[in-house]
Amino acid sequence: MQKNSLIKKIGLNRLGDERGSLVALESHRTIPFCVKRVYYLFNTTRGVARGFHAHRNLKQVAVCVSGSCRFVLDNGKQREEVILDNPITGLLIDSLTWREMYDFSSDAVLMVLASEYYDELDYIRNYDEFLKVAAL
């Protein structure tokens, strides 16, 4: 990872035994905020791209618990890409970060832990507006 990279990965501890693996996620321990909401994307149509927005205040950690997908993160100055393809890596997505998600495998399940309840007013869905807010 570059020194000032936008790609901040969180290594998740794989627990388990001969029966299989288990990962536990805890607020303020593994996840650097209080988790108020969890959602997951699955059954994503082949070739589709999602996201194309930033959040004003929301922080999130995304984990591709099955399959793979590609994230583009952009803070208005830098744009970087990362592939999520395992259930033991979380991607921390800070507020005021534009995100786009591509290349979902047919078995992809993208789980996201969020610091706030759902609020459409927190979304910035226009890239030019995002650039203005990010520059403040």
Q: Which is nearer to ligand T46, 13 or 126 (CB)?
A: 126
CA nearest neighbour of 58 among 130, 120, 132 = 120
CB of 93 to ligand T46, least distance (A): 6
CB of 84 to ligand T46, least distance (A): 11
Q: Which is nearer to ligand T46, 12 or 115 (CB)?
A: 115
| List 53, 72, 75, 87, catalytic entry | 53
Q: Which is nearer to ligand T46, 86 or 94 (CB)?
A: 94
Please list, in sequence order, all residues whose beta carbon lies within 8 angstroms of the beta carbon of residue 98, skipping any fewer than 6 positions away. 52, 53, 54, 72, 73, 74, 75, 76, 127, 130
Residues binding ligand T46 (CB under 6 A): 37, 39, 41, 50-51, 60, 62, 99, 112, 118
**Residue 53 known to be catalytic:** yes
DSSP string, 30-86: TBSS---EEEEEESPPTT--EEEEEESS--EEEEEEES-EEEEEE-SS-EEEEEE-S
CB of 112 to ligand T46, least distance (A): 5
Active-site residue set: 53
